[in-house]
Structures are given as structure tokens and as C-alpha cells.
Amino acid sequence: MAQKMAKRLEQLKVDNIVYEIVEIEKPSLGSEGLGDSEVNESMILDRMGNENNGPPSEVALLTAKALGISPQNVICKRLKNNYQDVSLTISIGNDYKKLFTPPKKT
């Protein structure tokens, strides 16, 4: 699923945003693994936004919109030691099918 998401992001055209996949891994929470099947709704962790006050970054919100992820599922959570300069982390949930379905034209 992660490989499929990486391919989708590489093909995504959102304004002038260029997606570079830094790492693909199964997320973990502390010492317990957090498998994809345990996450109900897909979410985006905005690694550059301000955790204390302020909305998520425009890049995070535009990416969420392009993928069909609710803006409520975009959370600011900075990384300690962000040596790879990661902007976003996408966690794929049980609603993964909608992430790979082209949006309906209105």
C-alpha cells in the first residue's frame, strides 16, 4: 500500500508542489507497532506546521484535498531531529480505497 501511495504522490499535480518520497515504512507508536489496519481514517502529519497555534501548512492542506483526506485529519506534529527535512507524513488508514480513486468531476 505504501508503494502505491508513493507512486500516486509522484503523479500528483498540486499547484507547484513537488513530492519527494524520503522513506516508506510501517508506522510505530512507542514500542508497540501501529499497523495500517489499526488506523481507521488516513491522516497527514504536518511536520513543518506550528503545533501550538495556527493551522496546518498550505502544502499539507492541498495534499489532503488532492488525496481526499479530510482537513480535520491534518495534524501539526513536528519531528525531533528532522535531519531529512520531512514536510509531511501520510498515514494510510482503513479508508485507503478512496485515496486511490480519482476525484469526481463537478
- Give me the pLDDT at residue 38, please: 64
Alpha-carbon distance 17 to 31, whole Å?
A: 34
Could you report how far apart the first and last alpha carbons of the chain are, in Å?
28
Please give the pLDDT value at position 36.
43
Number of other CB atoms surrounding residue 55 within 10 Å: 13
36 φ/ψ angles, rounded to the nearest 5 degrees? -55, -35
Three-class DSSP category at 4: helix
0.85 exceeded by the pTM?
A: no
Provide the residue-wise pLDDT of the chain in tens; the chain has 106 residues. 778 888 888 777 777 787 777 777 765 544 334 444 467 889 999 998 777 877 899 999 999 998 889 999 999 988 888 888 888 988 888 888 888 876 555 5
Residue 70 burial (CB count, 10 A)? 13
Report the alpha-carbon angle 64-40-105, nearest 5: 40
Domain locations in the chain?
2-26+33-99
